[in-house]
Structure 1
Amino acid sequence: MSDQQQSFAVGSKSFTAVAINCAAKAGEWIKTKLGNYTTLKMKYSGQDLVTEVDKGSEAMIRNLIMTHFPDHSFLGEEGVEPGPEASTKALHNVKDADYLWIVDPVDGTTNFVHGFPFFSVSIALAHRGEVLVGVVYDPMRDELFVAEKGKGAYVHGRKMSVSDEAALGESLIATGFPPDPHYAQPLNMKGLQALVPQVRNIRSGGSAALHLAYVAAGRLSGFWEIGLNAWDLSAGALLVAESGGKVTDTSGTSYHLGVRNVLATNGHIHDAMLEQLNKAGAAN
């Protein structure tokens, strides 16, 4: 067995198989709870929500992973206090772990709460800060997006490729509306105002992980958002990279686990989007 093959398994247990199993089981359970949650709380702001379904999904995923890999570290959104400072600190404490699972148990909680069928389960595994496996599962469409470092990215078992649009004017891109009203939201609005006249159109589905998966699948030409976290980005960033795209922060620095202001594209429009965001003062 090659070193690369060994990096994706311990003994007979495949990291990717465990990630897929966790995402599928959590996603199917989440789907049964649509319109049937019992508690709703605000976290950082009125746009940052949590239900018992988020917490239950994370507990399910964590328990399944720890059954297979009890010595691995775990970073899940619901185990971290709200706010950017707490998120940065939580990542700092574990980012250099030998093996770190990074989980968003329901990416798109606001959509879930309103019954808007665009949310996902995001699971990534990093080895000493480098993401090896990324899985994003959309339970409403039963779409499973899977990537392994150096082995490509797939949906429905078919290899994905980013789109080939070469100009902003031909591009459909996406963004989100951050829950931080003081820093991230104003910056994102500057970017929106700058890019709307330049592109074919802009979408905002409400799940960063699915937006990234859609860039990887060629359904979107690009995606940017300010103020995200490792659990929002790590799986999707690998999907984009393994589909031939490009992922950086909004200053152009290559993606790493600490990136919060992200730009992911098919590669062809990357520099043009960076230029527009920076010209508008919307990068950082």
Structure 2
Amino acid sequence: MKEWIPLTTNEGKSAYTVSSKSFTAVAINTAAKAGEWIKSKLGDYNNLDLKYSSHDLVTEVDKGSEKMIRNLLMTHIPHHSFLGEEGVEAGPEASAEALKEVRDDEYLWIVDPLDGTTNFVHGFPYYAVSIALAHKGEIIVGVVYDPTRDELFVAEKGKGAYVKGKRMTVSQELKLSEGLIATGFPVDQKVNLPCNLAGIQAVAPKVRNIRTAGAAALHLAYVAAGRLTGFWEIGLHAWDIAAGSLLVQEAGGRITDTAGKPYTLEARSVIATNGSIHGELQTVLADAKATGL
């Protein structure tokens, strides 16, 4: 398999080329297989455990999906590094340490094997597989697969973002007041949850409406597809955001931390928008002291 080759475009920007059997193809096939397996297990899990809090669930399906994804990826690319949610101890400190150990590796796969576990447990059809590939800390491939709707969201750095083979572009709303915005409820109930609730209270009167569907990767994919004008959440992890961050950027949108700084793998509280309403949303959250920073 031929790996990503950095090139220089006429504008002096970095681009990437791949062979026909690319990392993106591996990610797509892996996400699709894991997603179909997860869908077959809906309502058929046996063990439900708690991780960081009573809102942070894990089943054997999460663990089985991650094992499948890791095995499939490592079969094709055994020398790459791997960071998956279920291979890391619960809590922000553990996830930060796990990321620090592999962050600057040449190639790093960042995986959420089942984003939206609580939805899956309750049979609520809004969950996904999220797979990203970072090259020296920069996301170059992002794939989010929704098995319920059979929707595959794919992005390659510099090559655009697509859903079901069609190019995605972010929505065209120019004002926050016109926007449909999504957020989520953090698993940390002591600090992050009250912070995000303050954000919801501040944002709700200023937007068309708010949605909280419970899967950050899909929220980000929906921003990229123009179905949401924006999304913010406090207290996420790299595997929640990585693939979706590239989808948003390649669809013409913007993603930053909640202070407005450029997105990095270390970011845990983020804003993703169509770009036009980004500053307004960030200002509302900052004024409400709801950035989580």
Q: TM-score, structure 1 length as denominator? A: 0.97
CA distance in 1, matches of 2:233, 2:22: 32
Of residues 166, 178, 188 in structure 2, which corresponds to 1:180?
188
Q: Which amino acid aligns with 2:256?
A: T
CA distance in 1, matches of 2:226, 2:79: 37
Q: Which amino acid aligns with 1:173?
A: I
CA distance in 2, matches of 1:129, 1:71: 16
Contact between 1:8 and 1:16, CA under 8 Å: does it hold in 2?
Answer: no
Contact between 1:153 and 1:242, CA under 8 Å: does it hold in 2?
Answer: yes
1:217 aligns to 2:197 (yes or no): no
Q: Aligned residue for 2:83?
A: 75
Instruction: Give the 3-state SS of the residue equivalent to 1:54 in structure 2.
Output: helix
CA distance in 2, matches of 1:76, 1:225: 20
Q: Aligned residue for 1:99?
A: 107
Offset at 1:13? 3.6
Of residues 113, 119, 139 in structure 1, which corresponds to 2:147?
139
Question: Percent same amino acid at aligned positions?
Answer: 67
Contact between 1:146 and 1:154, CA under 8 Å: does it hold in 2?
Answer: yes
Which runs of at least 4 in structure 1 moved beyond 2 Å after TM superposition?
1-9
CA distance in 2, matches of 1:169, 1:104: 32
Offset at 1:3? 3.6
Contact between 1:8 and 1:15, CA under 8 Å: does it hold in 2?
Answer: no
Offset at 1:185? 0.8
Contact between 1:153 and 1:159, CA under 8 Å: does it hold in 2?
Answer: yes
Instruction: Give the 3-state SS of the residue equivalent to 1:247 in structure 2.
Output: strand
Contact between 1:13 and 1:68, CA under 8 Å: does it hold in 2?
Answer: no
> Structure 1 pair 86/2, CA: closer, same or farther in 2 (3 Å)?
closer
1:117 aligns to 2:125 (yes or no): yes
Of residues 48, 55, 58 in structure 2, which corresponds to 1:47?
55
Instruction: Give the 3-state SS of the residue equivalent to 1:205 in structure 2.
Output: coil
CA distance in 2, matches of 1:24, 1:131: 20
Q: Aligned residue for 1:191?
A: 199
Q: Which amino acid aligns with 1:232?
A: D
Q: Which amino acid aligns with 1:141?
A: R
Q: Aligned residue for 2:209?
A: 201
Q: Which runs of 5+ in 1 are unaligned?
A: none
> Structure 1 pair 8/71, CA: closer, same or farther in 2 (3 Å)?
farther
Contact between 1:208 and 1:233, CA under 8 Å: does it hold in 2?
Answer: yes
Offset at 1:45? 0.4
Q: Aligned residue for 1:229?
A: 237
Contact between 2:6 and 2:17, CA under 8 Å: does it hold in 1?
Answer: no
Q: Which amino acid aligns with 2:268?
A: R
> Structure 1 pair 66/6, CA: closer, same or farther in 2 (3 Å)?
farther
Offset at 1:7? 4.5
Contact between 2:176 and 2:206, CA under 8 Å: does it hold in 1?
Answer: yes
CA distance in 1, matches of 2:240, 2:5: 31
Q: Which runs of 5+ in 2 are unaligned?
A: 8-13
Q: Aligned residue for 2:289?
A: 281
Contact between 1:213 and 1:240, CA under 8 Å: does it hold in 2?
Answer: yes
Backbone CA RMSD of aligned residues: 1.4
Q: Spell out the pairing of 1:257-272 with structure 2 (5 A cutoff).
A: 257-272=265-280
1:156 aligns to 2:160 (yes or no): no
Offset at 1:237? 0.4
What count of residue pairs does the alignment treat as equivalent?
Answer: 283
CA distance in 1, matches of 2:157, 2:20: 19
Offset at 1:276? 0.2
Contact between 2:106 and 2:135, CA under 8 Å: does it hold in 1?
Answer: yes
Contact between 1:8 and 1:132, CA under 8 Å: does it hold in 2?
Answer: no
Of residues 27, 39, 60 in structure 1, which corresponds to 2:35?
27
Q: Which amino acid aligns with 2:197?
A: M
Q: Which amino acid aligns with 2:275?
A: G
